Amino acid sequence: MSVETDAAGPSADHAADDLARQLGDAIADLPEYRRLMETKRAVETTDEVQSRIEEFEQLRQEFMLARQSGDADEAALNRVQEAQQHLHDHPVMADYLDAQDALEARFEGLNDLISDPLDVDFVGESGACCQD
C-alpha cells in the first residue's frame, strides 16, 4: 500500500492550521488584546475589585440556590443586580469591560473578513445546530 503526498507543499489542512496559528499570534499582538490582558491583570491585583467580585459571586450563588428551591424573590434579584453594578462601577473593572468590548468588536471584524469569501458566518453559527 502506498501513500501519496503532495511534494509541492503542505496540504490544505496543514495550510489552514498554519494560518490559524498565525492568526492567533497576530491577535496576541493586537493593541486590543494587549489592553485586555493589562486590564485583566489590574482586575486580578486590585483588592477592592476582588472584594466586589467575591461579594457579587456570593450573592449570585445565594440567589441561584434560592431560585432552585423556589425561594428567590425580587429583593434578592435586586441585591445581585446592585452588587453587579457596584462591581462594574469600579474604574478598574470598567476599564476591563471596555477592553473586552473593544476586543470583541475587533473579533467581529476579523470574523467578517474570514467569512466573506466563504459566505458563512462562523462565529454566528458556532454552537447553533438549527438556525433559520
Q: What is the CATH number of the domain that holds 30?
A: 1.20.1500.10
Nearest to 123 by CA among 104, 98, 100: 104
Q: Cβ(55)–Cβ(83) under 8 Å?
A: yes
Report the pLDDT value the prediction gives residue 130, as an integer from 0 to 100.
55
Report the pLDDT value the prediction gives residue 92, as an integer from 0 to 100.
99
In a domain, residue 130? The reply is no
Mean pLDDT per 10-residue interval, the chain, length 132 residues = 50 89 97 99 99 98 96 96 98 99 97 86 61 51
Nearest to 98 by CA among 74, 51, 106, 79: 106
Q: Considering its fold, how many domains does the chain have in total? A: 1
pTM of the model: 0.78
Which residue's C-alpha cell is 435586586?
78
First to last CA, the chain: 46
In a domain, residue 4? The reply is no
Report the pLDDT value the prediction gives residue 43, as an integer from 0 to 100.
99
Residue 44 parent element (H or E): helix 31-45
